[in-house]
Structure 1
Amino acid sequence: MTEKELTVETVLNKIKSRGYWQVIIRPTQFKKNRLSLQECNQFVRECKVMLRGWDYPHISSRSPPYVGGEDYMEALTDWDGHIELWRMYQSGQFLHLFGCLEDWLAEEIPIFGRSRYSDISPGSVLEVMNTLYRFTEIYEFASRLAQKKLFEETLFLSITLYGMENRKLMFFDVRRCLGDYVCRVKNLSQEKTITVNELLGKTHELALDHAIWVLEHFNWLSPPREILKEDQKKFLEGRI
């Protein structure tokens, strides 16, 4: 599907046809017109996180990259396994839905023929490092919004992973071995109210905590925190 053909309905249906993530970040105090539509664009563009080959949240290179609604700006993406919809509302709420990358690997067309990921079935795995990286990006994005004074003293953050039941943890790096850790829960959801000071002071620690919480719900009850912390540090320093 080309980006010119994208609609909210087609993108949402595709996202929800397999496993997906939902992220909500918002001020705890509701103000309907906290931002102008222009500021909705500006905040996302200035706070987006680029730590690997794909930005969070993704801003398309097409022109214009956004579509305006009554009280929000949104962007749609369906490109090479990345299927996303995000909205920034004038109230300051950021909503992001995106498909589990692991579920779309088999449909990518590698330049040099079939890859070792081509046989991964949708709904079968959750990759550990991609999960850690994604939580790190989400919390880093929230932290950058906080630095721009979007929130007062606290913010609400909710992250839900849908369609996790019977998935198995895996590493893309074949040098890293892992036992059979399988999730027995359909959806993994955690929401919290965080003070701005805590978020700014412990951004990456909070992201690591949240990632480990997910891994534990795959019955990996003792994930190696220090090793994952070092993996996260390398990611933040661009050493992956």
Structure 2
Amino acid sequence: MQEGLAEKIKAIGHWRVNIRPLQPIDPPLPMNECHERVAKASVSLRGWDYPHIQRNTEHGGAANVGTYAENWCDWSHHVEFWRMYRSGQFLHYRALWEDLSDEGKNRPAGPALSVLGAVYTVTEVAEFLSRLYNGGLYKDGASINVTLGKSADRQLWISEFDRMPFYDEKRTNAEELVIERSFHAAELEGQAAAVSLSILLELFDHFGWNPDPSLLQRDQERLYKRQW
């Protein structure tokens, strides 16, 4: 991975996703399979895949590094890297596009988090986990940790053009927000939308916003139908 990329991401707002098998994977994954499982489970619902598979070496690349395979991208507001370990652990860091671009209507001053962007990202994360399970990787279940880093003084933002902004500020003062879940195999079967909804409701609660779950479910349905 290019020098300084991890530090660049961690210095600004970012998502950190860590997935671990509940039981050790034996035998360990071959290195080529680490790449292949991520590629097969990658979610592409809105023009940029999760996690992103970088094939153009001008703006990123891929490598085998001892115990893990990795892939990275540093292009415009797409700055991220992921690692799939031979143990089955998956680790992903992605910079918030909100911190790399000043575009957007009704944008609040200071650090912001797009509500729709968060809904889409967390939904993609859960769908990716579900696809890894369906591909046979986590037969005994898995744990997931979703962290929003550099969240202090960050404000929720209605970035869509067709919705009214918040009447009052929805803000968190926590330096990072950490949400963890563990799932047995049966709980991962066809439950991606429910898993992501649970994580989103906890995430937004940290900002003092407790929407009707149906509001977020409608956004999830639009994403799956590619109606964004």
Normalised to the residue count of structure 2, the TM-score between the two structures is: 0.91
Contact 1:76 1:84 in 2 (8 A): yes
The structure 2 residue matched to 1:193, chosen from 174, 182, 188, is 182
In structure 2, the partner of 1:109 is: none
Per-residue deviation, residues 73-131 of structure 1 (Å, max 9, x unmatched): 1011111111101001111111001111110013xxxxxxxx546x876x611000000
> Percent of aligned positions with the same letter in both sequences?
33
In structure 2, the partner of 1:66 is: 62
Matched, 1:43 2:37: yes
**What letter matches 1:22 in structure 2?**
R
Contact 1:26 1:156 in 2 (8 A): yes
Offset of 1:31 from its aligned partner?
Answer: 3.5
Give the whole-Å Cα distance in 2 for the aligned partners of 1:12 and 1:156.
Answer: 23
Aligned-residue Cα RMSD (Å) equals: 2.0
Contact 1:20 1:161 in 2 (8 A): yes
Per-residue deviation, residues 37-94 of structure 1 (Å, max 9, x unmatched): 0100110111100011110011113259421101211011111111101001111111
Write out aligned runs for 1:63-142 (5 A): 65-106=61-102, 115-116=103-104, 124-142=111-129
The structure 2 residue matched to 1:208, chosen from 185, 197, 213, is 197
**What letter matches 2:11 in structure 1?**
S
Three-state SS of the structure 1 residue aligned to 2:179 is strand
**What letter matches 2:179 in structure 1?**
Q
Unaligned runs of 5+ in 2: none
Matched, 1:227 2:221: no
Give the whole-Å Cα distance in 1 for the aligned partners of 2:78 and 2:118.
Answer: 15
In structure 1, the partner of 2:140 is: 153
In structure 2, the partner of 1:111 is: none
Give the whole-Å Cα distance in 1 for the aligned partners of 2:51 and 2:156.
Answer: 24
Aligned residue pairs, count: 224
In structure 2, the partner of 1:174 is: 161
Three-state SS of the structure 2 residue aligned to 1:206 is helix
Offset of 1:231 from its aligned partner?
Answer: 1.1
Give the whole-Å Cα distance in 2 for the aligned partners of 1:92 and 1:120.
Answer: 40
Offset of 1:202 from its aligned partner?
Answer: 1.7
Normalised to the residue count of structure 1, the TM-score between the two structures is: 0.87
In structure 2, the partner of 1:236 is: 224
Q: Which 4+ stretches in 1 moved above 2 angstroms?
A: 30-34
Unaligned runs of 5+ in 1: 1-5, 107-114
Three-state SS of the structure 2 residue aligned to 1:105 is coil
User: Could you tell which deviates more after superposition, 183-192 or 25-34?
Assistant: 25-34
